[in-house]
Amino acid sequence: MAGLQPVRGTHDLFPAEMRRHRHVVDTARAVAERYGYGEIATPIFEFSEVFQRTLGDTSDIVTKEMYSFTDRGGDNLTLRPEYTAGVARAFISGGLKNQLPLKVFCHGPMFRYERPQKGRLRQFHQIDVELLGVAQPQADIEVIALGWDILAALGVSDKCVLELNTLGDMASRTAYRKVLVEYFQAHKDKLSQDSIERLDRNPLRILDSKDEGDRRVVAGAPSFHEHLNEESKAFFATVKAGLDALKIPYKLNPRLVRGLDYYCHSAFEFTTEALGAQGTVLGGGRYDGLIETMGGPPTPGIGWAAGIERLAMLIAEPPTLPRPIAVVPMDASGEAKALELAQGLRRAGFAIELGYGGNLKKRMQRANKVNARAAVILGEDELKRAAAAVRDLDSGEQSEVPLDRLEAYLARFR
């Protein structure tokens, strides 16, 4: 029955996988905090215009992938397909101009209607970093270094390659766009229909087309670097020198682009070959014109997003949960005391497993199943002496411990 299955492209996160997911988020948050980034959360849906104005009417996300709907009040809303637009909207509507530079970290689910495959779902999750209000190349260096340090903290930086490019400033982009359009017009008969439609409105997007025919045309396209002015070259040189100083390796990729006009200067991706076709695990760039495009004050910005599912697939097994201590009443007479004792130990910071029924054998089997470190056995004789039998489930050794000293004794099993 279809209604009892998860919707195509969605995925249940059960405890073992959720532990990996949470490890990615917790690690990223901790590293971001060391850089001074505060955590925020934006709504899971926005007015559709927020994404239409920022992602471009010709982008695949807007034309093919957004989950949009009209609510009961007649408003056109969209489940967020990415974080940056919502953060920019929050900056404008929250009146945060006086808080610049603004450094934020966030995480949560995104929604895109695309073909589900390994590491790519219709509901997926991202961590995201945005730095607003800094026009200098030091901001580019910082956010890239933050991404690198998060990957290193997760133990996956050695599996990733930083690919780096510059899009130049607006003057450089304008000059390059003119030359690029002339080149593509001369080869228009070899372009895909999607690229022909982008030729007038968004020609830079043709450079990252996945169509094989487009790729052959793009291979001969003029280079962006040949059309950079001196200011853009100096900006990029500073970014590269900063990464060199921090010993963050990178590979120049002149075909790495961002198609919309508000993007400029640094564009970057951390890619991996460990996940097959889905090679990008973290990507971002500078978007100095975005907030002005949305109707806000001119505000430089740079940021990146990383897929949590993809990172979770790359990491080694995260630290395991603490092994619990099983509280085991031998009979009905110990049930009430077991409940009271378990609650007291939990409030003292212990992980406690308390069974819901069964004889001693079944309760001990349950303790072994949950990989308990020790068992606190409450028998009638022990309770008369205000004591419990504590069994080390690794060594098998067992000791009688007074209840008033139990908490201190169990500290060795934490």
pLDDT (tens digit, 9 = 90+) per residue, 333-350?
788 899 999 999 999 999
CATH code that applies to domain 2-169+229-314: 3.30.930.10
Nearest partner of 127 among 7, 8, 30, 52, judged by Cα: 30
Question: In the prediction, which pLDDT does 91 show?
Answer: 96
Q: Which residues of the chain have pLDDT under 70?
A: 1-3, 56-63, 118-119, 259, 261, 277-278
CATH number for the domain whose boundaries are 325-413: 3.40.50.800
Rounded Cα distance between 81 and 61, Å, is 8
pLDDT at 284: 95
Question: What does the pLDDT read at residue 205?
Answer: 78
Q: Domain spans of the chain?
A: 2-169+229-314, 325-413
DSSP H helices, 48-204, are 48-55, 60, 84-93, 137-153, 170-186, 193-201
Backbone angles phi, psi at 350, to 5 degrees: -90, 145
- Cβ(258)–Cβ(167) under 8 Å? yes
R_g of the chain computed on alpha carbons: 28
- Alpha-carbon distance of 188 to 294, in angstroms, equals 33
